[in-house]
Structure 1
Amino acid sequence: MNKEQPAIGIVVIGRNEGERLRVCLRSVLGAGRAVVYVDSGSIDGSVALARSLGATVVALDMAVPFTAARARNAGFEALRALSHGVQFVQFVDGDCEMAAGWLHAALDFLTSPGHARYAVVCGRRRERFPEKSVYNRLCDIEWNTPIGDAKACGGDAMMRVSALATVGGFRDDLIAGEEPELCVRLRAAGWKIHRLDAEMALHDAAMLHWRQWWRRSVRGGYAFAQGSWLHGGPPERHWVQETRRALAWGLALPIAIVLAAGWVGAGAMWLLLLYPAQVLRLMRRGGGAERAFFLVAGKFAEAAGIVQFAWNRLMHRRQHIIEYK
């Protein structure tokens, strides 16, 4: 590698991604970059595929619960052992294809004068098949985050190795929301996060059914609860508002309606109109009826995830990953 060019390494994580993994690895292999693939118990030949394409493979111990955070940490450590001079690491989910030109754009930003305190840079992730389902379209909307300095990033992002090492990497015990939680600690340590106006990756959610969307939303609620439990105090108040919203619409209001019905009878059913009223309110704010409906419906699943987190805390249980594919 050219001495003037900072060393970049790639960490790809995946579990039973099949052909998506082949596309992902081919988009990042080459130019002498070290590429580490971390596999979380795949049974579809992903490990053999990654090795055949030239990636260094780390197969996680199946005796320890899988999390994306654990996989990223394992990949990061393997990358540092493999490439001692690595200065930047690009994390990629195995169901994504890296956009041509992204690595150059991200590196340019992080190495520009005046950007030494930026630890993370991310770009526009898009769904590969938004036309296949409403759930894919919802993901595509979710990925379209504001451009400029940000509070958090997603699973695909380029990070400064020194910054990531300073804060101790990801929290292995988080089943979701590990990237925003990492960014909370990075910002607390004086680092910054930036969202570039540049294409970064194509993502294949492959989410075609209600049950998949529901499980993903439950996982989101679990992440809200765990994030607010970890960093809910001032000044951060991490995901406190999201947790309260989910509990209000997905748990407190349904309970109130049932109790009111028992007290005043069927007349309390008028309270159910608060839900379509909320859908209409969200529609007026932009995004369309489809998105508004699922934002409201998702509060029930998120509330279920929050309750699940609270129950696990009470019973001193560790939550396994909540898969939706």
Structure 2
Amino acid sequence: MNASVDVVLPCLNEAQALPWVLARIPAGWRAIVVDNGSSDGSAELARSLGATVVEERRRGFGAACHAGLLAAGAEYVCFCDCDASLAPDLLPEFVQRVADGESDLVLGRRRPQAHGAWPLHARAGNLALVRMLRRRTGLSLRDLGPMRAARRKDLLGLNLTDRRSGYPLQMVVRAADAGWRVTELDVPYLPRTGKSKVTGTWRGTWQAVRDMRAVLSEPAGERA
């Protein structure tokens, strides 16, 4: 498709995965790697591979994602993890659904392709959040995966404020409150390259769950 698209890739020490990820950015799209304080040369490597690099010194997944959204200038913005667990070349179908008016926000439903691709503790945390999200919004989603696409101006209109692990969930909650059509597409989920900074341990997973539960307690329509 010929749409103007930017792909936001939050990055913290992902030098091992970057070549694989950036090689799969669709032709004509721009990769925005948001370096969140890497010490392994990720930013320099990303630049050498042709990506636009944004430095976000405030640590946090949401901080990195939002910095990328603000740096984007395309009509459509996609988000994807930078750890080689999800392939950006799957994103054109996401954008096409938004462009065709079938959906306002398209999420990737992760389908593990190998043992260990989605550790039990991470899957359990995701399931708990999805159940809470269904009760909160009425959306019949089955995952809260990081791969997604929407129009940039619409995302900015959600006035997202979370800068930690709750950012992806806040996006869905506020989209639902605004009456958006939120849909899912199945995507292959591969074992990540390197160690997870969020869901690699039970402690990290439940810290993320705690961040997200705070988002779910936000009153409908709250934009503070």
Give the TM interval when normalised to the shorter protein. 0.7 to 0.9
Matched, 1:92 2:116: no
Confirm whether residue 21 of structure 1 aligns to residue 18 of structure 2: yes
Q: CA deviation at 1:154?
A: 2.6
How far the C-alpha of 1:228 sits from its partner, in A, is 3.9
Aligned residue among 104, 112, 136 for 2:119: 136
Instruction: Rate the CA distance shift 1:151–1:162 in 2: closer, same or farther, 3 A.
Output: farther
Higher helix share: 1
Query: Which letter maps to 2:206?
Result: V
Larger-gyration structure (1/2):
1
**Structure 1 gap ranges (5+):** 81-85, 237-325
Asked if 1:33 is matched to 2:29, the reply is yes
What's the C-alpha RMSD, in Å, of the aligned pairs?
3.4
Tell me what 1:204 maps to: 192
Residue pairs, 1:62-81, within 5 angstroms: 65-80=58-73
1:230–1:149 CA distance, 2 compared to 1 (3 A): closer
Q: Give the distance between the partners of 1:184 and 1:219, measured in 2 at CA.
A: 19
Deviations 1:73-128 (A, max 9, x none): 11112122xxxxx2211101111354375222212322235x2xx32112232456
Tell me, in whole angstroms, the C-alpha distance in 2 between the residues paired with 1:121 and 1:18.
28
Does the 8 Å contact 1:151/1:180 carry over to 2?
Answer: no
Q: Kindly indicate whether the alpha-carbon contact (under 8 Å) linking 2:34 and 2:65 is maintained by their aligned counterparts in 1.
A: yes
Which residue of structure 2 lines up, in the alignment, with residue 103 of structure 1? 91
Q: Structure 1 residues 150 and 163, CA, compared in 2 at 3 Å: closer, same or farther?
A: farther
Deviates more, 1:212-221 or 1:157-166: 212-221
Name 1:119's counterpart in structure 2. Answer: 104
Measured at CA, do residues 218 and 150 of structure 1 come closer, stay the same or move farther in structure 2, by a change above 3 Å?
A: closer
Contact persistence 1:136–1:207 (CA under 8 A): no
Between the aligned partners of 1:103 and 1:128, the Cα distance in structure 2 is 18
**Aligned-residue offset at 1:164:** 0.2
Q: Which residue of 1 aligns with 2:165?
A: 176
C-alpha spacing 1:160/1:151, structure 2 compared with 1 (3 Å)? farther
Match of 1:249 in 2: none
| Structure 2 unaligned residues grouped into runs of 5+ | 132-138
- Counting aligned pairs with the same residue, the percent is 26
Secondary structure of the corresponding residue to residue 13 of structure 2: coil
Q: Give me the whole-angstrom Cα distance separating, in 2, the residues matched to 1:32 and 1:225.
A: 38
Q: Distance in 2 between matches of 1:137 and 1:218?
A: 12
Correspondent of 1:43 among 39, 61, 64: 39
1:133-175: CA deviations, max 9, x gaps?
A: xx725546777989x953974321112222102112x3244x2
Between 179-188 and 98-107, report the one with greater CA deviation: 98-107
- Larger relative CO (CA 8 A, sep 6+): 1 or 2? 2
Query: Normalization by structure 2: what TM-score?
Result: 0.77
Using structure 1 for the length normalisation, give the TM-score. Answer: 0.55
Checking the alignment, whether the CA contact within 8 Å between 1:151 and 1:183 is kept in structure 2 is no
